[in-house]
Amino acid sequence: MIATIQYNSRKLQVDLSKPLDISMPLVSSKKNVNAWYIDAPKIEPVRDGEWIASVKEGADINFNNIQFNPHAHGTHTECVGHITDKVHSINKNLKTFFFLAEVVTVAPEKEGEDYVISKKQLQFALGNKMRDAIVIRTIPNTREKLSKQYSNTNWPYLKADAVKFLVNKGIKHLLIDLPSIDRERDGGELMGHNIFWNTKGQLRLDSTITELIYVSNKIEDGQYFLNLQIAPFENDASPSKPVLYKVIS
């Protein structure tokens, strides 16, 4: 199904029949992706004495409790409330859900003991394109990302000048396939998050960071229409389901 969508001052031809889901599923297993030194998520039936809320166990329904952390256990979208003392809810601050996005593939560069994504790399990837959102796929890119245990791995991160570049380019929604845009252990500085949300000035309340996505190698770099779906959690972050649609023209 090809749809013509009026987006800002442009008319986009978008193929809605081929959604490209770039979220990670959440499973009740130690094989679920994980970060930040906590246990695996749990999805378990409610128990009341000997009664177990599972059809397999003889109940009429399946009725599960789910225990997870959105920041650690899969694809999540967060707002500035993630790093401010004042409560800011992703559900209240993300008010529109469709954006013009650019998918880019980046090979983090060795810098001392770290691997980093630089301003130069993002400049090369974006050029003079103007987008609301950027989807960053890092390489190597294998399906192992769906079950990777990230704690104590010193994952790649965005340098400060790279984040400043994205802000200056007008990027409001940053999506990446890592647990954070910042270094795993940075003494709580969270430089990238602070720059992206401009915590020393006028807060960018309508801007979001989405982490732990997975962009299949079948998805080519280029322009897409992004549907950024969240659950209506009154929290700084929510599990999310970003879906891409190819822009034909």
State residue 221's pLDDT score.
97
State residue 86's pLDDT score.
94
State residue 1's pLDDT score.
80
DSSP character string of 59-84: -SS--EEEE--TTTSS-EEE-GGGS-
Range of the domain at 102: 2-25+70-246
State residue 6's pLDDT score.
86
**Residue 30 belongs to a domain:** no
**Residue 167 belongs to a domain:** yes
**Residue 229 belongs to a domain:** yes
Q: What parts of the chain have a pLDDT lower than 50?
A: none
State residue 8's pLDDT score.
84
Domain count, the chain: 1
Q: In the predicted model, what is the mean pLDDT of the chain? A: 96
3-state helix, strand, coil in the chain (%, to 5): 15, 35, 50
Q: Is the pTM of this model over 0.85?
A: yes
State residue 161's pLDDT score.
98
**Which CATH number fits the domain that encloses residue 115?**
3.50.30.50
State residue 103's pLDDT score.
98
**Residue 83 belongs to a domain:** yes
State residue 135's pLDDT score.
98
Nearest Cα to 128, choosing from 168, 178, 98, 159?
168
Rounded CA-CA distance 79/94 in Å is 8
